[in-house]
């Protein structure tokens, strides 16, 4: 496996790596004493698994149409011939709310591994590459957004050293995805 830097002009190739997955279980968010005593996350298996594909809402080639990506870094993992993984890091970009206007923070905007290669270490290598690039910018934090429906991603971010720092049960209501809860992870650099 090789990881290379690519430009926004190569995002069609990046987008050829499927990000879709089957949701078999979720983290159910349970406020304890209406949230005054914290929140519990329970792993709950679904009777009816379903497919989730983040690219249906926003595909990588759309990013440069929505944002100035000149401060972003795109990493592409290949098996020597084909794209098998990718990661995108956003930094100092007006209009990206996740960056909160901070210069000491990057956002791992996207990370994906082809289904045939998941579990092979490609995600870890891409994550570490994104982490290193963030450190090179002088950042102290890397932030990652996911949802309670993506339990494997949550476990991955925790394994990589991330700490769950935000839970927003209302984040996606306006998008018609009120059954999903935003979970935001922070990795200290």
Give the residue-averaged pLDDT of 8-17.
Answer: 96
pLDDT (0 to 100) of residue 176: 86
**Banded model confidence at residue 175, pLDDT cuts 50, 70, 90:** confident
pLDDT over 70 for what percent of the chain? 100
Distance from C-alpha of 43 to C-alpha of 20, rounded to nearest angstrom? 20
Q: Which of 45-51's residues contact partners 24+ apart within 8 Å by CB, and which partners?
A: 49/22, 49/23, 49/24, 50/22, 50/23, 51/20, 51/21, 51/22, 51/23
Reported as a single tens digit per residue, the pLDDT across 111-131 is 999 999 999 999 999 999 999
Query: Which pTM does this prediction carry?
Result: 0.95
Contact 51, 21 (CB under 8 A): yes
Tell which residue, 187, 170, 164, has the closest CA to residue 40.
164
Give the residue-averaged pLDDT of 7-36.
Answer: 96
Give the residue-averaged pLDDT of 23-46.
Answer: 95
Sheet strand arrangement including 83-91? 2-6, 73-78, 83-91, 105-113, 141-147, 182-188, 163-168
Residues 6+ apart with CB under 8 A from 172: 147, 178, 180, 181, 182
Domains parsed from the chain with CATH numbers: 2-188 (3.40.630.30)
Distance from C-alpha of 172 to C-alpha of 165, rounded to nearest angstrom? 17
Q: What is the DSSP letter of 20?
A: -
pLDDT exceeds cutoff 90 at 32: yes
Average pLDDT of the chain is 96
């Amino acid at each position: 496996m090789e990881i290379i830097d690519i430009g926004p002009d190569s995002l069609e190739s990046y987008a050829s790596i499927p990000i879709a997955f089957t949701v078999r279980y979720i983290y159910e968010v349970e406020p304890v004493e209406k949230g005054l005593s914290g929140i519990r996350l329970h792993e709950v298996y679904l009777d009816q698994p379903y497919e989730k594909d983040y690219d249906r809402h926003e595909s990588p080639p759309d990013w440069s149409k929505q944002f100035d990506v000149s401060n972003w870094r795109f990493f592409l993992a290949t098996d020597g011939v084909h794209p098998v993984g990718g990661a995108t890091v956003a930094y100092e970009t007006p209009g990206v709310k996740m960056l909160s206007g901070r210069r000491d923070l990057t956002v791992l905007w996207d990370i994906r591994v082809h289904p045939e290669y998941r579990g092979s270490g490609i995600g870890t290598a891409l994550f570490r590459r994104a982490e290193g690039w963030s450190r090179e910018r002088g950042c102290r934090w890397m932030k990652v957004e996911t949802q309670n429906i993506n339990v494997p991603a949550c476990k991955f971010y925790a394994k990589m050293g991330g700490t769950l720092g935000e839970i927003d049960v209302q984040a996606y209501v306006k998008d018609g995805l009120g059954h999903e809860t935003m979970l935001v992870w922070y990795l200290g650099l």
